[in-house]
Chains A and B, each alone.
Chain A
Amino acid sequence: MSAAPLALDIAHVGHSYGARRALDDVSFSVAPGSFTVLLGLNGAGKSTLFSLITRLYAAREGKIAIFGHDVARESGAALRRLGVVFQARTLDLELSVMQNFIYHAALHGIGPGEAKRRGAALLARAGLEDRAGDKARNLSGGQMRRVEIVRALLHEPRLLLLDEPTVGLDIKARADILAHVRALVAERSLAVLWTTHLIDEVAPTDDVVVLHQGKALAVDKAAAIMAATGTQTIGAAFERLTGAKMRDAA
């Protein structure tokens, strides 16, 4: 009997923008139902990696698979299992929250009736049930992020990617969103890849990938990385590995 496929399998992936090397031989995996943090400073290559996983660009070096489906060769099957929250806000500000959901659902072949039903249930779970008819531009930054997470879950993906989802939010909104996503991992057995440059978003039990200048310097549990580097905190471990200081937003 073969083992269940990994939620995300990244093997020897590299990428360059002209002469600039953005990613170099990056390999790691995300198991189903796990919370993995991709930790790196701005410019480490996190967003490039996201663009390759979501096939905004094609990976020319290495291989990326989502639940066993090669993103390059079976992009449709791979993307169908993937939900994405990009770093930049991607809601259509002119449309209402529910209209944004209907549009997103259509992009996954889901009709408006089913989109409304799923959207209403997920909004209630996120504590935003009274905002369905509001225009997206009238939401706060934290509410927009939660709506984007709800939208990313509409087509019931099994892997959720979040690219620096808490950037620009206040402390409470950051904590709420992090708790919400961690709860989704537990409730839905969702695999999550969470990128951040904020060390206080990492828990000792999280799987962590330390990405620096395009290279994956460490791939393990946060506690194991701390032990291997002889440090007491993940921030100190990051500094030991990269020689660069990590930011603690709190």
Chain B
Amino acid sequence: MTSETGFTARHYAICLSGIVWREALRFLHQRERFVSALVRPLVWLFIFAAGFRQVLGVSIIPPYETYVLYDVYITPGLMAMIQLFNGMQSSLSMVYDREMGNMRTLLVSPFPRWFLLGSKLVAGVAVSILQVYAYLLIAYFWEIEPPTPLGYLTVLPALVLSGLMFGALGMLLSSAIKQLENFAGVMNFVIFPMFFASSALYPLWRVQESSPLLYRICQANPFTHAVELIRFSFYEKIAWDSLGLVIAFTSVFAAGALIAYDPAKGMMMRKGG
């Protein structure tokens, strides 16, 4: 297979692996980023969840077949949180790259724009999955593990999908953020509301009891469905509704990012930046 540029599938593979390689190198060079990516969920697990272990009981709800401890319950939410933060970190690095000019070297590549952005997305997902498995390794020593070791494998496709969703959301946001300084707003208006208005910290039936409106907001939140997709797949099950919604959200965010970075239609065009 060749395109108008004369590129074959091998050339595309070289380009993809180059973009993933650079992302991995940058991640390894930024040790603080790796440490903070791990410390954040571990603080939630070791301090927050331990403190609330006896206060918040979790009834038997799917996919669980027995009562589970609170720290077991919030683990899928923390896995999704790692990916959400990583998606936003990628977004931050795209804004930084744009300010520093590095983004231009990517965008003037002769490969199609959709392929370049998709490769960037894949690179971010690969890094986020590494972080999640590092977290699971530590959590294992806290006796948090799937019912069988197979769960470590069955959760992988869910992590890929949720990572793609958060990465695409981050990419879309990065197109709208002109300056690095504006990124703090993303923390306040995207990450925290998404995380707290979800099933990450408490089951939705409990939310419904206290506030039907908040329950509906949680149900419309893409983060909720990423958490449930991960939760079920960690237990070797499939949350079909969440699977469909995560795919749908991913498609919408990715399409938005492609339009935003399209030379003819995008935000950069309008802003001259």
Contacts and interface: CB of A to CB of B under 8 A. Distances in A.
Nearest to B262: A58
Interface residues of A, number: 39
A74 B25 CA distance: 33
Interface in B69-124: 100-102, 104-112, 116
A103 B11 CA distance: 13
Interface stretch (A86-94, A203-211, A241-249): A86-94
A80 B110 contact: yes
A63 interface: no
A75 B262 CA distance: 12
A131 interface: no
A92 B102 contact: yes
Contacts of A60: 264
Contact of A58 (B10, B102, B263): B263
Interface string A194-214: 000000000000000000000
Contacts of B19: 103, 106-107
Contacts of A90: 100-102, 104-105
Interface residues of B, number: 40
Given A56-B268, A90-B102, A77 B18 contact: no
A234 interface: no
A79 B6 CA distance: 12
Interface of B is mostly: helix
A54 B17 contact: no
A57 B268 contact: yes
B83 to A, nearest CB: 23
B108 A54 contact: yes
A107 B105 contact: yes
Contacts of A17: 270-272
Among all A-B residue pairs, the 3 with the closest Cβ atoms: A106-B18, A109-B11, A88-B101
Contacts of B11: 109
Nearest to A135: B29
Nearest to B29: A94
Contacts of A112: 18
A82 B185 CA distance: 38
Interface in A89-115: 89-92, 94-95, 99, 102-112
Contacts, number: 110
B15 A75 contact: no
Interface of A: 17-18, 22, 48, 54-58, 60, 74-80, 82, 84, 86, 88-92, 94-95, 99, 102-112
A55 B112 CA distance: 11
A57 B14 CA distance: 26
B264 A107 contact: no
Contacts of A105: 18
Contact of A80 (B5, B22, B272): B5
B26 interface: yes
A104 B6 CA distance: 18
Given A55-B263, A58-B263, A90-B104, A76 B110 contact: yes
Given A103-B22, A109-B15, 11 more contacts: A17-B272, A76-B112, A89-B100, A91-B102, A94-B30, A103-B19, A106-B22, A107-B106, A107-B109, A109-B11, A111-B14
Given A56-B268, A58-B264, A84-B108, A107 B29 contact: no
Given A58-B269, A90-B104, A108 B110 contact: yes
B269 to A, nearest CB: 5
